[in-house]
Amino acid sequence: MASRGFTDDDMHLYGLAQQFKELSDDEQVAGRIIVLNSKGQIVDDVSLSEADIEKATNRLWAGNPVNGLTVADADIASVGDEAEAFLADGGDV
């Protein structure tokens, strides 16, 4: 990692990606997360199964002090609608 010039922040991002990878060893791919640093350089990428995505969403939702609850399917559906609109507009950030 150091040979690529990773900063401490990059290492934290890499650690985050590793946590997603540790969710399971399921090789089905339902989605992918590409982790970019503040300069737009790829730090890591993660392929997730449908079960991994659900598990990660529930754990992040429950760990957010604002929420304190697991995510409801209706909430996931509303985020999906936003994502579809984002992609329909070309997915520009």
2 has a pLDDT exceeding 50: no
CA–CA separation, 50 and 40 (whole Å): 27
pLDDT at residue 64, as a whole number: 76
- Compare 30 and 69 and report the one with higher pLDDT: 30
pTM of the model: 0.61
Sign of the dihedral defined by the CA atoms of residues 73, 77, 82, 86, in that order: positive
